[in-house]
Amino acid sequence: MSESEPPALVTCASCGATNRLDPARGGGDREAVCGRCQAPLPESGPVNVTDESFEELVLRSPVPVLLDAWAAWCAPCRMVAPALEQIATERSGRLRVAKLDVDDNPAIAERLGIRSIPTLVLFREGREVDRLVGAVPKGEILRWADAV
């Protein structure tokens, strides 16, 4: 996030309050908390998933997870990235957007049978529900995620 980026609006899962997170301030090592009830706030952007963190961040997530299997050299992956960042912010607390770099994390990519990128995999309650392969616009990603 750049310093000129506007604050992200994050809804508290505990009390429903809308909280403003200013990317210019950064969080350091502190976890963002709700201004009303002090409950921890969900992340406001995509989380990076590794072979080591996959179980915790994806399979044990309390909310559905939209996993983006991508690679830095992949042009279609870079085309989809801004839409996924927007979805992560807009659906914060209701949907976790996670990014898995398949080059750096081959074990999970192999375990999931990722053969083409970008591949979007939707998980609910630790189980794969569906997947979408290829670069698609934000609206189509949202329709797909909502329909599944």
Between strands 47-49 and 96-101, the pairing is: parallel
User: Which residue bears the tokens 């992340």?
Assistant: 43
* Catalytic site residue from 12, 15, 34, 77: 77
Phi (first) and psi of residue 29, to 5 degrees: -95, 0
Q: Is 12 a catalytic residue?
A: no
Q: Is 77 a catalytic residue?
A: yes
Which are the contacts of 76, defined by CB distance < 8 A and separation ≥ 6? 117, 118, 134, 135
* Catalytic site residue from 12, 15, 37, 74: 74
Which are the catalytic amino acids? 74, 77
